Chains A and B, each alone.
Chain A
Amino acid sequence: MSASTEQAPLTPPIAVKPPSPSPNRYKRLTAGTVSANGLLIVLGAAFLVPLLWLVFASFDKTATASLRLPNLSLIHYKHELTGTNLKPFWNSFYIAAVSTIVTTVVALFAGYALSRRHIPFKRTFMLVVLFMSGLPVTILLVPTYQLFVRFNWLDSKFYTSLFIAATSLPFAIWLIKNFIDQVPIELEEAAQIDGAGNFTTMTRVVVPLALPGIIATSMITFIGAWGAFVIPLVLDSNPADTPGSIAIYQFLTANGQVNFGDLAAYSILFAIPVIAIYLLVSRKLSGAFTFAGGIKT
């Protein structure tokens, strides 16, 4: 120990705290950031205005095509929330539900086999499946119509739903197969060596773990089927079977003035289920894929 007191001993600077890192959130207000945010606001406004119009018009007693502050009233919703006006929503629900159930179950079995089993020409098969999901439905309308005529399947909600299921199937198979791929194969090996057969392994191990993905797939299918338009237009002309999408179309193209307020409310009501499901899906998907604790990575 030095006896001199002029030189302070070199002790570690315990008292000095390291400067806290500037929070990444609020970056320096550079000209670039300001203009970026400004531009974003402009673009955002451009996207918002049409939506705003829809909402305003639905609450506007004297709604027109113009965007203006609403003359607040619930009258349009009152008009639309009636039995006859809600019937198309039930039809949409029927179609969406039936096709979703069929698609999900069928895609689950196919996706499991494609993911885990050796299938000859699997890659070709998957490529064909992918292609099918991108195929414009237009090409299918006429031949399917003819087929339905021959089998007497026209004007039936059920068979229409079945066809929609078939058109949703390729994408659903693609999605579910990829979700099952993500379940670590070791978990299945562990189940097998524990004595479980194929079906037990699938139901007790794979499906529970791939469930978020399976649910997401079925919800995506539901959203697509809910908005189905041209297929029911062609295959089901029974007025009692009219789904919501076609109902809106009929209001739009009916003779006479379009009642913007009523139709706005109706459109919003029609959109609500789909928006709700989308919110659910995005929440499920973001937290979903951590096989936490099962596999040490």
Chain B
Amino acid sequence: MDVSTSAVALPPRRRQDKVRFQVSSVGWLLPAIALLAVLFIVPVVYAIFLAFTNLQLLGPHAQSFQFTGTANLSRMFGDSVFWHSLFLTAIFVVASGIVAQTVFGFALALLMQRALPPLRLGIGAIVILAWVLPEISAAFIWYAAGQAGGAISLLTRSPNTNYLSTSAMLIVCIANAWRNTAFSMLVFSAGLRNVPEEVNEAAQLEGAGYWRRLFSVTIPIMRPTIFTNLLLITLATLSDFTLIFAMTQGGPGNDTAILPVYSYIEAFQFNELGYGTAIALALIVLGGLFSLLYVRHLRPELNK
């Protein structure tokens, strides 16, 4: 056998090293699969079914309900409150989530870079504290702030206005931004640290000023981070329930009834479980669309 030449053609034989699935692996995964199947996957599938029924919490259709096809859908599309809710959700996600948290998070991250250490630690702690605080405590704070005599009214010098009545959505957006900006700040701080210093220095040598560098160098490099963060913010904001519900219960009227809140109200306050689930389904679809949008933008980066 000539062992010194490089490429020896191997005869077709059966491989011995196919990676095989060990049966014992099932044991390790079983508890997780069981728990997820029963309490997660089954409900999700069941929800998709229930969305097309007339199930109720109380009343004639609580015990015996029927599959009603697209009845809930037509009801939804004809429901002005639904469209209002959809609109509010979009505002909430875009204004309070995407715009406010991204802008403030990024601004804070940038400012932190140049901050004096005690300032960086102190303000960082404050911003993060707002995030760690339980949602209900945060809800309470902003409930008070929006009251007549509360911080907001004092700021606008109209101490008798109850902003939770007049501009509830605004207060709610501010509250959400206040609470969640910390996450974006942390993500962007990490992202900024990963921008190689040499690139910045090279740009400086070429005469680029601070803002030029920011927009032409730093931000493009951070594109994947920014988009990933957008995706996470969107999904988190879409799921948000406690903050708004505790503050306004969707009111006054339906002024702050974003989709999760509206779904809950229809299901558990108006007893329309089926219809409420349909609204929740609309929420999921909305989330899915957003996700697809981001993933498509992210795909070129992910493939690198």
Measuring CB to CB, which residues of chain A are less than 8 angstroms from any residue of chain B?
25-27, 32-33, 36-37, 39-41, 43-44, 47-51, 53-54, 57, 64-67, 102, 105-107, 109-110, 112-114, 117-120, 132, 134-147, 162-163, 165-167, 169-170, 173, 198, 223, 226-227, 229-230, 234, 244-245, 248-249, 252-253, 258, 260, 263-264, 267-268, 270-271, 274-275, 278
Contacts and interface: CB of A to CB of B under 8 A. Distances in A.
The dominant DSSP class at the B interface is helix
Interface in B43-88: 43-44, 46-47, 50, 55
Contact of A147 (B32, B46, B267): B46
A253 to B, nearest CB: 7
A223 to B, nearest CB: 7
B239 A138 contact: yes
Contact of A64 (B43, B104, B127, B149): B149
Nearest to B263: A138
B7 interface: no
* Residue in A50, A102, A132 with the greatest tally of chain B CB atoms within 10 Å: A50
B31 interface: yes
* Residue in B38, B39, B137 with the greatest tally of chain A CB atoms within 10 Å: B137
Interface in B117-155: 117, 119, 122-123, 126-130, 132-137, 139-145, 147-151, 154
B242 interface: yes
Contact of A169 (B36, B145, B232, B277): B36
A267 B291 CA distance: 35
A274 B132 contact: yes
A252 B145 contact: no
Given A26-B116, A50-B178, A136-B238, A44 B122 contact: yes
B20 interface: yes
Given A37-B116, A166-B36, A109 B149 contact: no
Contact of B39 (A27, A118, A144): A144
Nearest to B278: A142
A7 B282 CA distance: 90
A285 B238 CA distance: 29
A50 B151 contact: yes
* Residue in A102, A143, A234, A270 with the greatest tally of chain B CB atoms within 10 Å: A143
A135 B44 contact: yes
Given A112-B28, A139-B281, A66 B150 contact: yes
Interface of B: 19-22, 24-25, 28-29, 31-33, 35-36, 38-40, 42-44, 46-47, 50, 55, 104, 107-108, 110-112, 114-117, 119, 122-123, 126-130, 132-137, 139-145, 147-151, 154, 178, 181, 210, 232, 235-236, 238-239, 241-242, 245-246, 249, 259-260, 263-264, 267-268, 273, 276-277, 280-281, 283-284, 287, 291
B43 A270 contact: no
A253 B111 contact: no
Contacts of A166: 35-36, 38-40
A227 to B, nearest CB: 4
B134 A50 contact: no
A113 B25 contact: yes
B141 A54 contact: yes
A118 B114 contact: no
B46 to A, nearest CB: 4
Contact of A39 (B31, B40, B111): B111
A230 B132 contact: no
Contacts of B210: 32
Contacts, number: 264
B117 A25 contact: yes
Nearest to B133: A271
Nearest to B108: A43
Contact of B137 (A43, A64, A248): A248
A258 B114 CA distance: 43
B280 A138 contact: yes
A214 B284 CA distance: 31
Contacts of B39: 144, 162-163, 165-167
A143 B264 contact: no
B122 to A, nearest CB: 7
Contact of B25 (A119, A143, A227, A270): A119
Given A43-B108, A47-B123, A106-B32, A198 B24 contact: yes
Given A65-B145, A136-B280, A146 B117 contact: no
Contact of B154 (A66, A120, A258, A264): A66
A146 B46 contact: yes
B115 A118 contact: no
Nearest to B130: A47
* Residue in B32, B35, B245 with the greatest tally of chain A CB atoms within 10 Å: B32
Contacts of A267: 134, 136-137, 140-141
